[in-house]
Amino acid sequence: MSQATLQNSHAAPAPLVALTEDETLFRENIRQFADESIRPKVREMDEKAIFEKSLIDQFFQLGLMGIEIPEQYGGAGGTFFEAILAVEEVSKVDPSAGVIVDVQNTLVNNALVRWTNDDQKKRYLPRQAADTVGAYALSEASSGSDAFAMQTRAEKKGSDYVLNGRKLWITNAKEAGVFILFATLDPAAGYKGITAFIVEKNFPGFSVGKKEDKLGIRASSTCELIMEDCKVPGSNVLGEVGKGYKIAIETLNEGRIGIGAQMLGLARGAWESALKYSQERKQFGKSISEYQGIQFQLAQMATEIEAVRMLVYNAARMKDAGMNFVKEAAMTKLFASQVAERVSSLAVEIYGGYGFTKDYPVEKYWRDSKIGKIYEGTSNMQLQTIAKMLLGGK
């Protein structure tokens, strides 16, 4: 698969969850790449908690890190729906790889394409498409679900800004060269004092701190960021001063569909593993897939996965069509994370004792699934969003 294949694969959105011929080809190309190039490295990367750089280089070469970036800046010029397909297929093999592609496309590139001025587009979009991993830095020790209770401060000094503070749990931080980072200019103004900045890894006063030792998606880096009198040029304000909250909210709405796609791919990977094993494992003279108890579990899992697929694809189509998709994005992330955890847990049980060992893939799917209910808005926050919108709130 070449970048040209990605660039030529997009077409007008199909209705609801149906795929066009070009989208089907796009998906099959990514599926082949994931099986051939990512799958052999999954266990070693998980055990070492390090993502192999050569794979990230291949992501760039194939155009997977700049799917929605316009062709004039070196991107594939594709759709949000295609980015979602990519996240799903990569995550089916390794959710750690899926989240790298996801954060790059649905959060960082999405924010840069939408909110940068012409000069910023020329400076950053070609890099994001060619060789620079991005990260999205919002969370802090005291601001998780209460995202705008952040303590990181920005102070205007001449034509520049000076940032001080710490960010926690930042995905892609170890590999990233560019960060969309949020800081408060005026704490008294509440959320209206928050501004988004484009921060480069080599800016003075900026450093990447501790890498977390995680339960799941271990190959994906999650690190602390440290700003000690970090000097950021005034030309690197993203959007408008004081409008960081708007950028954060609207970008995360799209990112939640990406997490839904990651969880969909994960659930598919776990289910396919369980299905195959159930047909191979024999007990009492026949394969365990011939027993109704196993058949019913596999059928229930498949049904829930298909429901997740419809939610994910429909929300992505709505986004591409310019429709209001906030409620659908929240529903997608909520349900996809529930199904991923449930399906991967049942997959472990179908494997029996083998499922509890690292010699088989399902225990990793189960460990990886847990983060789906936590990052980019916990399940309770998704329920709150859904309830407010159903009751006519904003």
Q: What is the CATH number of the domain that holds 342?
A: 1.20.140.10
At 191, is the pLDDT very low, low, confident or very high (cuts 50, 70, 90)? confident
Which range, of 10-24, 165-179, 330-344, 376-390, averages the lowest pLDDT? 10-24
Q: What is the pLDDT of residue 393?
A: 64
Q: Indicate if 178 and 264 belong to the same structural domain.
A: no
Q: Indicate if 294 and 370 belong to the same structural domain.
A: yes
Final residue belonging to a domain, choices 188, 210, 243: 243
Q: Indicate if 115 and 22 belong to the same structural domain.
A: yes
Does the pLDDT value for residue 65 go beyond 60?
Answer: yes
Q: How many CB atoms lie within 10 A of CB 17?
A: 14
Q: Indicate if 71 and 156 belong to the same structural domain.
A: no
Does the pLDDT value for residue 12 go beyond 50?
Answer: no
- The residues annotated with a catalytic role in the active site are 376
Residue 229: which domain range? 136-243
28 compared with 146, residue with greater pLDDT? 28
- Domain holding 77: CATH number? 1.10.540.10
User: Under a CB-based contact definition with an 8 Å cutoff, are residues 182 and 194 in contact?
Assistant: yes
102 compared with 18, residue with greater pLDDT? 102
Mean pLDDT for the stretch of residues 130-141: 96
Q: Which of these, 156, 139, 263, lies nearest to 212 by C-alpha position?
A: 139
Mean pLDDT for the stretch of residues 167-191: 95
Q: Specify whether the backbone of 377 is left (phi greater than 0), alpha (psi in -120 to 50) or beta.
A: left
Does the pLDDT value for residue 174 go beyond 60?
Answer: yes
Q: Indicate if 18 and 85 belong to the same structural domain.
A: yes
User: Under a CB-based contact definition with an 8 Å cutoff, are residues 247 and 112 in contact?
Assistant: no
Q: How many CB atoms lie within 10 A of CB 89?
A: 28
- Domain holding 235: CATH number? 2.40.110.10
At 18, is the pLDDT very low, low, confident or very high (cuts 50, 70, 90)? confident
Does the pLDDT value for residue 351 go beyond 60?
Answer: yes
Q: What is the pLDDT of residue 75?
A: 97
Q: Indicate if 251 and 237 belong to the same structural domain.
A: no
Helices 362-369, 244-280: inter-axial angle, 10-degree rounding: 160
At 14, list the tokens: 């199909």
Task: State whether the Cα torsion 346-347-350-351 is positive or negative.
Answer: negative
Q: Indicate if 46 and 109 belong to the same structural domain.
A: yes
User: Under a CB-based contact definition with an 8 Å cutoff, are residues 178 and 129 in contact?
Assistant: no
Q: What is the pLDDT of residue 46?
A: 98
Q: Indicate if 224 and 257 belong to the same structural domain.
A: no
Mean pLDDT for the stretch of residues 224-238: 98
Partner residues linked to 66 by β-bridges? none
On the CB side of 386, CA atoms within 13 Å amount to 15
Does the pLDDT value for residue 206 go beyond 50?
Answer: yes
Final residue belonging to a domain, choices 228, 243, 258: 243
Exposed, middle or buried, 27 (CB in 10 Å: 0-12/13-18/19+)?
A: middle
At 104, is the pLDDT very low, low, confident or very high (cuts 50, 70, 90)? very high
At 16, is the pLDDT very low, low, confident or very high (cuts 50, 70, 90)? low
Does the pLDDT value for residue 11 go beyond 90?
Answer: no
Split into its structural domains, the chain has a count of 3
Please list, residue by residue across 130-156, b when 16 or more beta carbons sit within 10 angstroms of its beta carbon and e when fewer do: eebbbbbbbbbeebbeebbebebbbee
Which range, of 8-22, 124-138, 253-267, 341-355, averages the lowest pLDDT? 8-22
Mean pLDDT rounded to a whole number for the chain: 94
Does the pLDDT value for residue 107 go beyond 50?
Answer: yes
Mean pLDDT for the stretch of residues 299-311: 98
Q: Indicate if 55 and 39 belong to the same structural domain.
A: yes
Does the pLDDT value for residue 146 go beyond 90?
Answer: no
Q: Indicate if 214 and 272 belong to the same structural domain.
A: no
Q: Indicate if 320 and 367 belong to the same structural domain.
A: yes
Q: Indicate if 124 and 165 belong to the same structural domain.
A: no
